[in-house]
Amino acid sequence: MNEKDIDRCLKMILRELPYIPGEKKKKTPPHLPPPETAVGDLNFQNHLQYQLGIRLHESGYYWEAHEAWESLWQIQDRNDSNREFLKALIQITAACLKRKCDGFSPALRLMNSAESILKKLFPSNQIRFGISLKHVLDEIEKWKIDSSQIALILIPRNRI
């Protein structure tokens, strides 16, 4: 996969409004090819599902980002810390979606779980697949304090 493939898939998904549970009839998951490989340190920049997840999350398409990352999470080796990192991203995205749907308690539980995974597995000064874990942990703290905040920025705007 290359940047053009990622952009083409992203444009296809962004043609529709984001799916919000309870507001619309459930839509089918984004039409993405199944992941051919697990994501790792050497391929994250051109990995379709990983990059789509990042871009969809940053665009407020939380359900769609969750779907992209979950397909990747399912093929990761069960003992791989990358699987746990993806699980944390999935939980962050699900928390943003829950908060958007006025589910503060479930959103907070998901965000606390993601925070726990990140703190347990990774030193906070580490960069994982282009994401600064210190930045994400700082954003989680802000998100938990400001109950009106829905989004959580995974990558600062100047790095996207």
Residue-range definition of the domain harbouring residue 69: 3-19+44-159
Task: Say what percent of the chain tops pLDDT 70.
Answer: 87
- For residue 7, is pLDDT > 70? yes
Considering all CA atoms of the chain, what is the largest pairwise distance in Å, rounded to the nearest integer?
42
pLDDT tens across 86-130, in order? 999 999 999 999 998 877 889 999 999 999 999 998 876 788 888
Q: In the beta sheet, which residues pair with residue 131?
A: 128
What is the residue-averaged pLDDT of the chain? Answer: 83
Count the neighbouring beta carbons within 10 Å of the beta carbon of residue 104: 12
Under DSSP, the state recorded for 96 is H
CATH code for the domain of 70: 1.10.3450.10
- For residue 159, is pLDDT > 60? no
Say how many domains are in the chain.
1
pLDDT tens across 44-55, in order? 877 888 888 998
